[in-house]
Amino acid sequence: MIYNNRPVPAIPSLTPTGEVQKRQNIQGTGNFQDILNEKLKGDIKISKHAQMRMQMRNVNLTETQREKLMKAVDKADAKGVKDTLIVMDRIAFVVNVKNRTVITALNSSEMKENVFTNIDGAVFTD
């Protein structure tokens, strides 16, 4: 640009770059809950009630079983299930899919002749 027959140096762009831009992108693409859910996706929480039931029923999850449980929740989520029954390794879990939280757990002897209510899907894993 030229002013009074002299070149005027360009004014640096005021558009945000770097870290500031990243923060604005995060703020512009979704709310805090959406971002938190995306970060936590894959992780499974166990409610206090489920923890008590698991201790009572001598149900202990290995890392492999925890991974299977996460994959089963992902499958249920992909189908739009809200609350699911997941049966694996002779253990049953009732899981709230949206919150990725185990609500309760039963071992094989307690599954017999039991009725599961308030679920809208089931996943059986090997």
pLDDT in tens, 55-101: 999 999 999 999 999 999 999 999 999 999 999 999 999 999 999 99
Structure tokens at 117: 């209510």
DSSP lists the bridge partners of residue 46 as 102
In a domain, 106, yes or no: yes
Q: What residue numbers bound the domain in which 77 lies?
A: 44-124
| 124 pLDDT more than 90 | yes
Tally the domains of the chain.
Answer: 1
Phi-psi region for residue 45, left (φ > 0), alpha (ψ -120 to 50) or beta? beta
Tens digit of pLDDT for each residue in 22-50? 444 444 556 776 666 555 566 899 999 99
In a domain, 65, yes or no: yes
In a domain, 57, yes or no: yes
